[in-house]
Structures are given as structure tokens and as C-alpha cells.
Structure 1
């Protein structure tokens, strides 16, 4: 039995580029980046550009252009467009990370000179503002108490508001609540402080205290908690609700036993991020807490200090090297506190996230 062989006519072959096009080697992006940095620094030095930031921008532009030209010559215009988008994303990422790293490194360098056991366990009572010594113990106590009270007020109200919007909210009332939550998200912190000052302190006659500041912080924290909790509750599958209703479980018990426990990881993460957001607020504290150089363990009576206000007070002293050092030390502690809250939130989210096979 003979096999016949057929040849494909030349005019019947597919036109255009082959399916297996040329590709640049994997080491091309790092090599292009190194070459762009070298060339950019050379252009900056020869061109008389004094700012290293300008050198970096020139290097970034060269990286994007060279990557596109090389890819267009070797891989074709279609792949070159993909490389162009990837290069722009990488450049934007680096431009965002560099200031954060620079800020963190500089804060650690300046603050590590001051932060020690004495700095964390002493207040500014009896310490000259222009002299050495002193610490942040009173400010640390004030920040912890004020943030705790604000969270104690905002977290339950925000959670219940989000439950209403997701599970019960229908009609004009739900739309109005959603609208006001959106508006509150963009309210400046100074406005919240002025509102509490007018109502709580001036109209009702209460004195300056840590609790007054926590009321303003709760206003700032509330919309963040509502929005994050609302999104987490929406992610709970409706099948879980329907299965619970099919078994005759009331709606309120379904929410309490099924919906909230399922979304508790995301809810906790949102609350922790909201806490981190209000920890660094300064304007409401300046208006309502008033600041103090001594330890006040009672947030309901008398002025109190906080870390953001302590930083401002120390750094506002002109030509005071000791005040500058204390300000950087407090800034390092504040960054460490906020970073710790974010790490806790991420850990809780990973711990409570749904696992494969469960």
C-alpha cells in the first residue's frame, strides 16, 4: 500500500508573522535598567542637573523608551506595546516605593538615636523644652486611650450601619445613609474637630479632655468602618443565607451566626486599618485635647497629650536640636505602632480567610 505525499502550494501558506516569534532573553529588562541608570546619570552629570531626582526621572524615561525600541525591533510592535505598559507600571511602582523607603529609613536613622527605655518611660514633666531628657510616656498613654475610646464608639456603630445597608437597607433611607457615609469619608479632620468643639465643649460646657478628642476621631473612623464592613458583607455568598433560611433560622440569627462570622476576617481588617488611619490625626487633638507635659491617666478629665501633637510641639521649637531629636523619636514610635496595626490586620485576614477544601 503506497502513501501519497502532498505538497502545499506556495500561495496557500499563511501570511504574516509566524506563530513562534523571536523573544528577548529574560535578562533583558535588568540589563536595560542598568544601562538606563548609567546613561541617565551620565546625562545628568554632563547636563549639569544638580538634583538626583532629575537623574532618576531621566533614567526612567530612557528605560521605557529603550525597552519599547528593543522589543519593537525583535519581537514586533504588538509585543512591544505590552512591554511598554509593563515598563510604565514598573516605573510607577518604583516612583511610589522610593519616597516611602526614604521616609522610613530617614525616620529610623533619626529616631533610633533617641528611642530607649528612658524615652519610653518618662514624660516631659519638669524637663526644659530646649534641654535634653524627657520622653513620650504621657503621649503614648494619651494616644492609646483616645484611639481605644474612638474605636469603642465607631466600630459597633459602623458594623451595625453596614449590616443595615447590606441586609435590610431598601428605599430612600438606605440611599440617604449611603450618601452621608460617602460625604463623611471626605470630611477634613479639622472640620470634625470644630464640630465637637462647638457642640461638646462650647454648647454643652465640657472641658478639654482625651474623650473630646476621641469623639472627633470616632467621626473620622466611622465611614471607613462602614465602607470596609459593607464590602466584606457583600462578599458573603447568598447561598449561605438561603440555606440558613431554608432551615427555618430567623434573619437576625442568620446574620449573627452565619454572615458576620464568615466575614469577620475582613471586618477586623477594616477596623484595624481605620484605627491606623486615625492614630496620626493632629488637628482634632490640638483643638479638643489641648496637650499636656505630664501624665494624665484619666481621659475624661483635663488635657492630655498624644503622639502626633507631641511631634508637632517638639518640632515647632526653632533651632532646638533636643526637640528635633525627640520629635523624630516619637515619629519612629508612631510609625512602628501604625505598622504593627497593619501587620495585625493582615495576619487576621490571612488567618480568617477561607481555606481551600473547607
Structure 2
């Protein structure tokens, strides 16, 4: 009996293996070939249909790529693989649809903004410059933006951080729910509403003058909920084991938060604050209402009108001549570079302050 079992086992192991589970596959170069084919067909249809917009050509090509990929995969590999390829193709098409406007915006801004962007443009104001003539610069607007955004950050970042700490570490009951509700409401407040609130309270009721500080308070209102939300999410990602280990050693809760929780989440908190700064750096409506524009340099944000980069762009574009258009595009390029630098600084700080894990 044992010999029979051994023989059967040996025969089964030595039997030739069949490749019934192997299915035909498209070649590795198939996606690239289908992209090229779809572009050719899309361009051909665009020319035949006399479509002037290249965007329409691209949309037709994207639809053809998704359809041809699904049909060909279903024919060769089966419907199951075709559905997988369909999902992958849709993801890539959506990704390209999101990238194309961004790349187009960057190209247009760099192309048109680099015409007048030089050292003189960055180091001079518009004092004494005719708006219809070339010349002038954005030095006064850069100073205004840095001061207004800096003051708004000094106001909003500590309040937002402490609010997030309360909601995550202490918040229980109706008060925490009310704070969460109002933070959610403030997240969707239009910038013009924040400007009108400060206008009515600070300038009309309290009778203060228009200034950069008034604009900074409106920007702080817009910045606060972003800081609260981002900080709250980062604090929730801190493992509870770290809190429990610290508390088990007899460390008070406030010291645990200060020495364990916040250092662990400092990278994400810094990134959130920088994203909030980038969010308010381009706001124009509160500045138009509260700061006004000024062609000369005003280093005092607490007195008198003061310009900023978003207001400068709006002001120059509204003048409607070629020289002002060039200055507006150059200021837009500087503003984009400013936001990009903020993001790079946030990444650097996050990497520098990230918790070090020893071996």
C-alpha cells in the first residue's frame, strides 16, 4: 500500500506541468503605441472637423486612448484585465488634465513675466512713474506683502495651534463640538466677508485708519481655520503609545504635549502653517477694502495705505495698457516664486525637525 502511494505521488510530481493559467498579454510598448495612435487620430479628427482649439484635440485624443485601450485589452487579455486597464487609463488621463493647466499657467507666467523682471524691477517702487510708460517696480508691494503676511501669521499661528491642541488633547463635550463647528464654518468663509468684518469693526466702529495691520487681521481670519485643521490632523497621527509612555513615567500632561506630542508632529504642523501662509499670500479682496494701494514705500504697517503683490497685480492689470500688463505678469511671477519658496522652506523645516530614530 505504501509503495502504491509513493508511486502515485511520484507520478503526480513528475507529470508535465501545463500552462493553462497563462493568458495572452499586450506587449510592454502597447501603452506608448496607443498614446501615439490616439494623438494621431485626435489630431486627424480635429483637422477634419475644423476644430480650432488644441484643447478639443487633446480631449478627443484622451477619449480615444481610453476607448481603444479598453477594447484592445478586452480582445486580447479579457474583460477583467480590460476593467483594470480602464481604471488605470482614467487615472492617467485625469492626472494629465490636472497637470496641463498648471504647466500652461507656469509657462505663460514665466514667458510674459520675464520681460521686465530684473533687479531694478525688484528694487524700485512706482513713485513718480507714469503708468503708461515702462519702468517702476514692486519693492513697495513686496514690503507690504511680507509685513501683512508676517503679522497675520503671528496672530493666526499661535491661536490655531492652541485651538488644535485643545481639540485633540482636552476637547470633550459641547464646547469642543461648537469649536469644531465654527472652525468648519470659517474654512469656507469668502475672503471678502473677512474683509467686510474687519472694515466694519476696526475702521467703522472703532474708528481706526486704513492700514496694513487691518488687512493682516483679515488675512489672519482666513488663515486660522487652515492652521487648526492641519495641526489637528497632525496631532491625531501621533501614536497614543508615546503619550501613554510619557504619562506612565509621571510626566504631567502639559509637559507631555510640549515635549513629546508637539516635537513629534512639528514637521506636519510647520507644513500646515506654510500652506496657510501660501493660502493668504494671494488674497486681494481684504487688501482692496482695508489697505488700499500706494505707489510709494510705506514701511509702517500700522499707519497709512500700503500696497501688496496681489493688489499690485490687480491695479496694474486694471490700467489696461501694455506696460502695466508686463508689470502685472512680472509681479505674478514673483508671487508664484514667493509661494514656492514658502513650500520649499516648509519641507526643509519638516525634514530638519522630523524625529530621529536611533538604531
TM-score range, shorter chain: over 0.9
Q: Give the counterpart of 1:260 among 259, 262, 265.
A: 262
Q: Secondary structure at the match of 1:20?
A: coil
TM-score (norm 1): 0.95
Deviation per CA, 1:29-67: give whole Å up to 9, x if none.
Answer: 111001100110001101111111111110000000011
Distance apart, 1:350 and its partner CA = 3.5
Could you say which residue in structure 1 is the equivalent of 2:338? 337
| Cα distance between partner residues in 2 of 1:206 and 1:357 | 55
Q: Which runs of 5+ in 2 are unaligned?
A: none
Q: Secondary structure at the match of 1:151?
A: helix
| Cα distance between partner residues in 2 of 1:115 and 1:98 | 25
Could you say which residue in structure 1 is the equivalent of 2:198? 196
Do structure 1's residue 218 and structure 2's residue 252 form an aligned pair?
Answer: no
| Cα distance between partner residues in 1 of 2:188 and 2:93 | 29
Q: Secondary structure at the match of 1:224?
A: helix
Q: Give the counterpart of 1:174 among 173, 176, 196.
A: 176
| Cα distance between partner residues in 2 of 1:338 and 1:6 | 71
Deviation per CA, 1:238-288: give whole Å up to 9, x if none.
Answer: 011111111100000100111001100000000000000000000000000
Deviation per CA, 1:185-217: give whole Å up to 9, x if none.
Answer: 000000000000000000000000000000000
| Cα distance between partner residues in 1 of 2:150 and 2:57 | 46
Deviation per CA, 1:104-156: give whole Å up to 9, x if none.
Answer: 01100011111101000000001111111100000000000000000000000
Q: Secondary structure at the match of 1:127?
A: coil
Could you say which residue in structure 1 is the equivalent of 2:139? 137
Count of residue pairs brought into register by the alignment? 351
Could you say which residue in structure 2 is the equivalent of 1:316? 318
| Cα distance between partner residues in 2 of 1:162 and 1:19 | 55
Q: Secondary structure at the match of 1:123?
A: coil
Which stretches of structure 1, 4 residues or more, deviate above 6 A after TM superposition?
Answer: none
Q: Give the counterpart of 2:21 among 4, 19, 22.
A: 19
TM-score (norm 2): 0.94
Could you say which residue in structure 1 is the equivalent of 2:39? 37
Distance apart, 1:21 and its partner CA = 1.7
Q: Give the counterpart of 2:271 among 269, 272, 275.
A: 269
Distance apart, 1:354 and its partner CA = 4.9
Contact 2:263 2:355 survives alignment (8 Å): no
| Cα distance between partner residues in 2 of 1:341 and 1:354 | 22
Q: Give the counterpart of 2:58 among 50, 56, 59.
A: 56
Deviation per CA, 1:72-116: give whole Å up to 9, x if none.
Answer: 111110011000000001000001100100000110001111110
Deviation per CA, 1:155-180: give whole Å up to 9, x if none.
Answer: 00000000000000000000000000
| Cα distance between partner residues in 2 of 1:141 and 1:225 | 24
| Cα distance between partner residues in 1 of 2:45 and 2:26 | 27
Computed over aligned residues only, the root mean square deviation of the Cα atoms, in angstroms, reads: 1.8
Could you say which residue in structure 2 is the equivalent of 1:349? 350
